[in-house]
């Protein structure tokens, strides 16, 4: 939503006025049916006012930039594999990779078998570059979340830099865990079951349990970004928020709907040819970022609804408590929403 007041004094006054959290309702029922309807209505209007479509495009750009260093790490690790490890990887590529990329990818993997002496150095370099690139995505997401809450960035660099690094490391670890949860099947799961003495029962149970595990990882990742990202003091970390649930549901629905569209109605192969898979991935990544920002917008408007239920005005700005105001100068105009940088 657009800001209606300006200056540091407004931010400090808002912070002081909203710091008394005991006056804010904690239960969803305390907001009332009309309050929840207002949350939905303002989420829809805020989606346009805060330029979330453009923010999602910016996040997609930074997300793609962070993929290439990750590929360097993956390719370097291939060079450290032995012949048996490479053969297993090639078998998986034959099953999973699209036809137009399969032969090229297998050729690259096989050509990297003999690069073990330099593979470790390449992997270390790629890992550092991947973390730096991924931190750019996190930085852009922080700016987007501040725009959602209509809150200028008040945290100094010595606070923001470690925060970006910690969030980046957390997201990389959670992304790796989610990838492991998806790929931990077949022979790998069977061998693990044999080592644990559980046999085929482990494969059966894991085939069912991996999806709740994956969902939990995604929810924790989104909730962590919502809590630590914006320059807004949160009442406490919650691993599930209403906005987080909406983000996950929107992501699942958008992914399923887009998959149906591509399979039945899309003409990506005729239009883009060999680049169709890349274009489809970019559109899916953009939809994923839109879902994340929609969930954040809902949580932000829920915070506004809590303020309204406590007696505040709907147009009062800022309606949330800033974590830090040291970087908010007198020249900062709170009447204009942040723009995509």
Give the residue-averaged pLDDT of 117-127: 69
Closest C-alpha to 165, from 196, 128, 215: 128
Write down the H helix ranges in the chain.
Answer: 8-18, 32-49, 52-79, 83-96, 99-111, 116-148, 157-183, 186-195, 200-228, 242-264, 268-272, 276-309
Closest C-alpha to 305, from 38, 46, 41: 38
- Residue 53's pLDDT band, with cuts at 50, 70 and 90, is very high
Is 13 part of any domain? no
- Residue pair 220/174 in contact (Cβ under 8 Å)? The answer is yes
Is 138 part of any domain? yes
Distance CA 62, CA 56 (A): 10
For 228-256, the pLDDT digits (tens) are: 999 998 877 777 888 999 999 999 899 88
Please state which of the ranges 184-188, 208-212, 316-320 shows the lowest mean pLDDT. Answer: 184-188
Is 167 part of any domain? no
Any residues with CB less than 8 A from the CB of 122 and at least 6 apart, and which? 72, 75, 76, 79, 115
Give the residue-averaged pLDDT of 193-206: 69
Is 123 part of any domain? yes
Measured in degrees and rounded to the nearest 5, phi and psi for residue 109 equal -60, -45
Is 104 part of any domain? yes
Distance CA 272, CA 332 (A): 45
Is 248 part of any domain? no
Distance CA 9, CA 145 (A): 22
Is 299 part of any domain? no
Distance CA 324, CA 328 (A): 8
Range of the domain at 136: 65-147
For the cut 80, the answer to whether the pLDDT of residue 96 exceeds it is: no
- Residue 89's pLDDT band, with cuts at 50, 70 and 90, is low
Is 97 part of any domain? yes
Q: Is residue 20 classed as helix, strand or coil in its secondary structure?
A: coil
Q: How many CB atoms lie within 10 A of CB 214?
A: 16
For the cut 80, the answer to whether the pLDDT of residue 269 exceeds it is: no
Q: E strands along the chain, which residues?
A: none
Give the residue-averaged pLDDT of 270-286: 79
Quote the number of domains for the chain.
1
- Residue pair 297/43 in contact (Cβ under 8 Å)? The answer is yes
């Amino acid at each position: 939503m657009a800001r209606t007041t300006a200056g540091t004094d407004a931010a400090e006054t808002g912070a002081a006025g909203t710091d008394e959290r005991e006056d804010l309702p904690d239960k969803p029922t305390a907001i009332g049916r009309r309050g929840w309807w207002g949350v939905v209505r303002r989420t829809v209007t805020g989606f346009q006012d805060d330029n979330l479509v453009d923010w999602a495009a910016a996040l997609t750009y930074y997300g793609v930039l962070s993929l290439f260093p990750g590929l360097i790490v993956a390719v370097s690790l291939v060079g450290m594999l032995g012949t048996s490890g490479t053969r297993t990887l090639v078998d998986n590529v034959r099953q999973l990779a699209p036809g137009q990329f399969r032969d090229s990818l297998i050729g690259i993997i096989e050509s990297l078998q003999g690069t073990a002496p330099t593979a470790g150095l390449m992997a270390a370099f790629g890992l550092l570059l991947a973390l730096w690139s991924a931190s750019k995505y996190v930085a852009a997401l922080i700016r987007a979340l501040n725009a959602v809450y209509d809150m200028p960035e008040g945290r100094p660099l010595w606070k923001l830099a470690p925060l970006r690094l910690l969030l980046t490391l957390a997201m990389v670890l959670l992304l790796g865990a989610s990838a492991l949860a998806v790929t931990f099947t077949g022979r790998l799961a069977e061998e693990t079951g044999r080592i644990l003495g559980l046999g085929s029962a482990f494969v059966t149970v894991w085939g069912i349990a991996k999806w709740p595990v994956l969902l939990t990882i995604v929810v924790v990742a989104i909730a962590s970004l919502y809590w630590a990202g914006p320059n807004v003091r949160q009442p406490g970390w919650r691993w599930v928020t209403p906005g987080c649930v909406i983000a996950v549901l929107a992501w699942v629905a958008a992914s399923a709907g887009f998959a149906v569209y591509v399979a039945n109605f899309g003409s990506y192969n005729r239009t883009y040819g060999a680049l169709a898979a890349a274009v489809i991935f970019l559109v899916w990544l953009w939809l994923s970022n839109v879902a994340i920002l929609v969930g954040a917008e809902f949580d932000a408007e829920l915070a506004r609804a809590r303020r309204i239920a406590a007696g505040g005005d709907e147009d009062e700005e800022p309606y949330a408590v800033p974590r830090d105001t040291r970087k908010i100068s007198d020249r900062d105009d709170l009447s204009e929403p942040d723009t995509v940088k």
